[in-house]
Amino acid sequence: MELQVKNGLFRYGHRDPVLKGVGFRFGDGTGSGRILAVLGPNGAGKTTLIRLLLGHLRWTEGETLFGGRKAASLSPAELARLIGYVPQAKVPPFAVTVLEMTELGRIAFHGEFGEPDETDEAAALEALDTVGIRHLAGRLCSEISGGEYQLALFARALAAGPGLLLLDEPEAGLDFRNQRRILSTLKSLRGKGVSSVFITHYPDHALELADDALLLGKGKAPVFGRASDVLTEESLSEAFGIQVRIRDVQIPEGIRKTVIAAE
């Protein structure tokens, strides 16, 4: 699905703009999946951007379009069927099992007050399988680890079978193996035509996985383009204000880029 932002500017209240000059066209109408990594220092506006794309916030100027349709003209239910959202993990204060929480991802299909049916349960269990935590289906969300909960949030987004996933630091708090699980799931979803926009503080992950990258810098114009063009030693050093080096590392599958802070 094509995602486009035109002339985006956003400010909270009367403050200085958090985002300015945001414009990009990601993906196309051919149905092939793509991955966009969003990077930038703390406070650069990454989560704000995701909230704008989700329609939780409105651009002060500019607009978002999904498949050429203005996001503002889509109902919340239409948006929920198009987009899956994986927020930063915050365990809910109410007692809910992992399966029940995953079934919440199906709400656009059965309505807020409708009961999930067998189809919803099957989709939720399949999503739990995909992220490797089906064995936790009956456990309370308040009684699993933070990393396991992060995976449950991913499953909740997958349960709706969205064409586009928006993920806010999906690998944060996960161990190496589960980070790889998230990355390989995004990769295999791309192969099935599902696109992803993911915020990450790991430039290595962006270089490994992403087709495109959006680099946000505080007070600097955002840069969008092919990930290998956007994420260079120079641009990362400038955006993060620290000397960065990119090196090739030999792994059994070939060469992988690794990004090092050289200070």
Ligand X SMILES: Nc1ncnc2c1ncn2[C@@H]1O[C@H](COP(=O)(O)OP(=O)(O)OP(=O)(O)O)[C@@H](O)[C@H]1O
Contact between 47 and ligand X by CB under 6 A: the answer reads yes
Closest distance between ligand X and the C-beta of residue 71, in Å? 18
Nearer to ligand X, 8 or 116 (CB): 8
Shorter beta-carbon distance to ligand X: residue 43 or 146: 43
Q: Which of 3, 5, 36, 44 binds ligand X (CB under 6 A)?
A: 44
**Residues of this chain, 86-145, that bind ligand X according to CB under 6 A:** none
Residue 43 found at the interface with ligand X (CB under 6 A): yes
75 near ligand X (CB under 6 A): no
Told to check if 241 binds ligand X by CB under 6 A, we report no
Report the distance separating Cα 193 and Cα 217, nearest Å.
30
Say if residues 36 and 28 touch (Cβ distance below 8 Å): no
Q: Give the range of 42-50, 91-99, 106-114, 225-233 binding ligand X by CB under 6 A.
A: 42-50
> Rg of the Cα trace of the chain?
18
If we measure between CA atoms, which residue out of 234, 233, 236 comes closest to residue 200?
Answer: 236
Q: How far is the CB of 138 from ligand X (least distance, A)?
A: 32
For the segment 170-199, give every residue that binds ligand X (CB under 6 A): none
- By beta-carbon proximity to ligand X, the closer residue of 95 and 261 is 261
Q: How many residues bind ligand X (CB under 6 A)?
A: 10
Nearer to ligand X, 45 or 162 (CB): 45
Which of residues 37, 48, 133, 163 is near ligand X by CB under 6 A? 48
Tokens of 129: 């399988």
Compose the 12-31 pattern: x for residues touching ligand X by CB under 6 A, - for all others. x-----x-------------
Whole-Å CA distances, 65 to 55, 72, 207, 210: 11, 8, 26, 21
Smallest separation, CB 150 to ligand X (Å): 15
Using the minimum distance from each CB to ligand X, give the nearer residue, 107 or 182: 182
- Contact between 40 and ligand X by CB under 6 A: the answer reads yes
**Is residue 45 involved in binding ligand X (CB under 6 A)?**
yes
8 binds ligand X (CB under 6 A): no
Is position 42 an interface residue for ligand X (rule: CB under 6 A)?
yes
Show the 3-state SS of the chain: CCEEEEEEEECCCCCCCCEEEEEEEECCCCCCCCEEEEECCCCCCHHHHHHHHHCCCCCCEEEEEECCEEHHHCCHHHHHHHEEEECCCCCCCCCCEHHHHHHHHHHHHHCCCCCCCHHHHHHHHHHHHHCCCHHHCCCEHHHCCHHHHHHHHHHHHHCCCCCEEEEECCCCCCCHHHHHHHHHHHHHHHHCCCEEEEECCCHHHHHHHCCEEEEEECCEEEEEEEHHHHCCHHHHHHHHCCCEEEEEEEECCEEEEEEEECC
Q: Which stretch binds ligand X (CB under 6 A): 40-48, 95-103, 107-115, 242-250?
A: 40-48
Interface residue list for ligand X (CB under 6 A): 12, 18, 40, 42-48
